Amino acid sequence: MFGHDLADVYELVYRSRGKDWAAEAAEIGTLIRERLPAADSLLDVACGTGAHLEAFDGLFGHTEGLELSAAMLERATGRLPGVPLHQGDMRAFDLGRRFDAVVCLFTAIGYLRTLADMRAAVATMARHLRPGGLLVVEPWWFPERFLDGYVAGDLASDEHRTVARISHSTREGRTTRMEVRFVIGEAGGIREFTEVDLLTLFTCEEYLAAFADAGCPAEYLRPEWTARGLFVARRG
C-alpha cells in the first residue's frame, strides 16, 4: 500500500472528492489554539504527501512530519524542503523532542491491525507531547457506523491525465477490506493498478481507553468537515 503508483495520483483523486487539506488544517489549527493559545510547535504523524503539513507550516512556528511510506515521504520532501521529515512507524518512534500538538489525520490510525498496535501508537504520540499539549486523531469508522459492501466511484482529471477510482469495502470481523482499483489514462496510454487496504474497526470506547491510559484523556468531537469525527486529548 501507499507506493509510487498511489502517491502519483493521491491528491488529484481526493481533491476531486472534495477533500481540502488546507481548510482542514485551518480548522484543526483553530481547535488547537482555542484550547492551547500559545501552541507553536506541531508534529504531523502519517503526514503522507505533506498536504496538511504544508498548511500547518504556515500556522505554527515549528512543524515536523513522520511518514512510514517512502513514496509518500518523497512527495512531502519535495513540497516542504525546510520542514524536518522523518520516516518511521507511528507505533514506535522517538524524535528526541516534544511538541505542543501532535496530529494524526485522515484515518491513518485505522491502518493499524490490532488493538495493541493502536494503543502503542497513541502512547508513542502522547510521549511526544509537552505537559498540557494536545493530541488530535481522526479515526476510521466505528464498527456500528461501517457500511458493509459500500461502493464508491470517482473520476478526476488534470491537464495531463484522467484517473478513475472505484472502491468496494467489506467487513471481515473487525477489519475493513477495501479493494480500490485505479485506471489512469494519459498521453502514453492507459494503465491500472489495485490497492487492498485493511483498516481496523476500533470502537470509540477502545480509543478513549487508549488515550486515558496514555495519560491523555480525550473527548470525541463531530466537526462538520469529517464524517468520522475527531478525538482531542490533552496530556496531563
**For residue range 113-129, what is the model confidence (pLDDT) as tens digits?**
999 999 999 999 999 99
Q: What angle do CA 185, 191, 192 make, to 5 degrees?
A: 110
Asked if residues 12 and 165 have their Cβ atoms less than 8 Å apart, the reply is: no
Mean pLDDT of 26-48: 98
Tell me the pLDDT of the chain averaged across its residues: 97
Q: Are residues 45 and 85 in the same domain?
A: yes
Asked if residues 177 and 85 have their Cβ atoms less than 8 Å apart, the reply is: no
Q: Are residues 76 and 148 in the same domain?
A: no
Provide the number of structural domains found in the chain: 2
What band does 1 get if pLDDT is binned at 50, 70 and 90?
confident
* pLDDT in the model for residue 127: 98
Q: Are residues 149 and 132 in the same domain?
A: no
Q: Are residues 79 and 20 in the same domain?
A: yes
Q: Are residues 186 and 216 in the same domain?
A: no
Q: Are residues 60 and 85 in the same domain?
A: yes
Asked if residues 17 and 43 have their Cβ atoms less than 8 Å apart, the reply is: no
- φ and ψ at residue 113, rounded to 5 degrees: -90, -20
218 three-class SS = strand
CATH number at 74 reads 3.40.50.150
Domain extent, residue 154, equals 144-200
Residue 172, classified by CB atoms within 10 Å of its CB into exposed (0-12), middle (13-18) or buried (19+), is exposed
175-215: pLDDT as tens digits: 999 999 999 999 999 999 999 999 999 999 999 999 999 99
Q: Are residues 45 and 96 in the same domain?
A: yes
Q: Are residues 56 and 138 in the same domain?
A: yes
Q: Are residues 45 and 113 in the same domain?
A: yes
Q: Are residues 52 and 89 in the same domain?
A: yes
Can you give the pTM of this predicted structure? 0.97
Cell digits of residue 177? 477490506
Q: Are residues 107 and 153 in the same domain?
A: no
* pLDDT in the model for residue 226: 96
